């Protein structure tokens, strides 16, 4: 019975290993094709409009609209070729009717599109390699000759793997803190300066309940908004919103934005019912802070171990009562 259980677990491990390897190969092929197609002939597209994606915490992503009328749709609910991601400097100088040059690579057109897809493929490839790497190492250390070699070099091997693990963990925490800082800065910028209040028309809406690329279940709610800023210019953007805003506003919604940047839209009126939604959205940042505190505590314990020989405070024993003179 025990042997059958081990064989079953081993077969499951092999199936999972093959699945992750196939995923890595597929992502590698797509990345290779993406890089190869960048050398294709440059195409020209006429800009039909401008739109911005405003994230849940105010992070802005800028797009040139390549299809007439597409700016009124939620960006994530449109055809892939309706938009081209561009840097802010190019977005500010862009006018309707201008020509945008780029390479047609699947859903990508501009350099920013292609760069975003390359980062996504590299991230998924790295994730896909985690399980196969540990699976291979686990199988190798069960080979007698390899096991003897690892036992004879266990000290520096443990240091090597510990160093790799800590380095990987620190890099992951660094990326998370960079993302967290950007979200905090975006939120502060949206609430800074002379604030304007207006009503925006809801031209489209979209909700998605699926796994995010980060590997956990998320619900996403988007509203496509259109309004005139204080100078009379028409502003189009896709705004990520909590479920209470999404469900309680059908045709229009009250918005606020700083006068110097009307794309930094935010809404008041967040409800208690949104608590779980925001917790889910912030879970990676919460885990980042918890892991950081645990690492600091672990470093403190190691320092104590080095100084006192114990991870825990050493209590001084009280002398026996009969040792005191009468």
Q: Which residues is 90 bridged to in the sheet?
A: none
Of 267, 219, 210, 214, nearest to 243 by C-alpha is 219
Q: Which residues is 214 bridged to in the sheet?
A: none
User: H helices then E strands: how many in the chain?
Assistant: 7, 9
Exposed e or buried b for every residue in 228-254, given b needs 16+ CB within 10 A? eeeeeeebbbbbbbbebbbeebeeebe
Which 3-state string (H, E, C) describes 122-146? HHHHHHHHHHHHHHHHHHHCCCHHH
pLDDT at position 214 over 50: no
Q: Where are the domains of the chain?
A: 44-109+192-270
pLDDT tens for 142-198 read 778 777 777 777 777 777 777 777 887 888 889 889 999 999 999 999 998 899 999
Q: Which residues contact 43 (CB under 8 A, 6 or more apart)?
A: 101, 102, 103, 104, 109
| Whole-model pTM over 0.75 | no
pLDDT averaged over every residue in the chain:
82
pLDDT at 195: 92
pLDDT tens for 189-209 read 999 889 999 999 999 999 887
């Amino acid at each position: 019975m025990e042997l059958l259980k081990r064989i079953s677990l081993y077969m499951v491990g092999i199936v999972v290993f093959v699945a992750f390897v196939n995923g890595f190969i597929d992502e590698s092929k797509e990345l290779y094709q993406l890089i190869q197609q960048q050398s294709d002939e440059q195409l020209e597209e006429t800009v039909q409009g401008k739109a911005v994606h405003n994230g849940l915490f105010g992070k802005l992503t800028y797009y040139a609209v390549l299809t007439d009328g597409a700016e009124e749709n939620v960006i994530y609910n449109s055809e892939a070729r309706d938009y081209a991601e561009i840097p802010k400097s190019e977005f500010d100088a862009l006018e309707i009717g201008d020509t945008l040059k780029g390479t047609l690579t699947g859903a990508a057109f501009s350099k920013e599109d292609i760069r975003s897809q390359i980062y996504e493929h590299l991230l998924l490839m790295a994730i896909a390699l985690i399980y196969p790497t540990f699976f291979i190492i686990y199988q190798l250390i069960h080979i007698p000759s390899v096991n003897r070699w690892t036992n004879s070099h266990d000290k520096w091997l443990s240091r090597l793997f510990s160093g790799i693990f800590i380095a990987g963990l620190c890099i992951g925490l660094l990326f998370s803190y960079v993302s967290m800082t950007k979200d905090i800065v975006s939120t502060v910028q949206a609430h800074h300066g002379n604030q304007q209040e207006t009503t925006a028309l809801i031209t489209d809406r979209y909700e998605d309940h699926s796994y995010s690329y980060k590997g956990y279940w998320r619900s996403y709610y988007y509203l496509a908004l259109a309004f005139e800023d204080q100078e009379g210019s028409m502003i189009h953007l896709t705004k990520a919103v909590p479920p209470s805003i999404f469900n309680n506003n059908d045709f229009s919604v009250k918005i606020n934005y700083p006068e110097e940047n009307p794309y930094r839209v935010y809404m008041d009126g967040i409800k208690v019912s949104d608590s779980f939604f925001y917790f889910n959205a912030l879970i990676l940042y919460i885990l980042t802070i918890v892991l950081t505190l645990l690492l600091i505590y672990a470093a403190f314990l190691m320092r104590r171990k080095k100084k006192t020989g114990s991870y825990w405070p050493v209590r001084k024993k009280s002398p026996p009562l009969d040792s005191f003179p009468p």
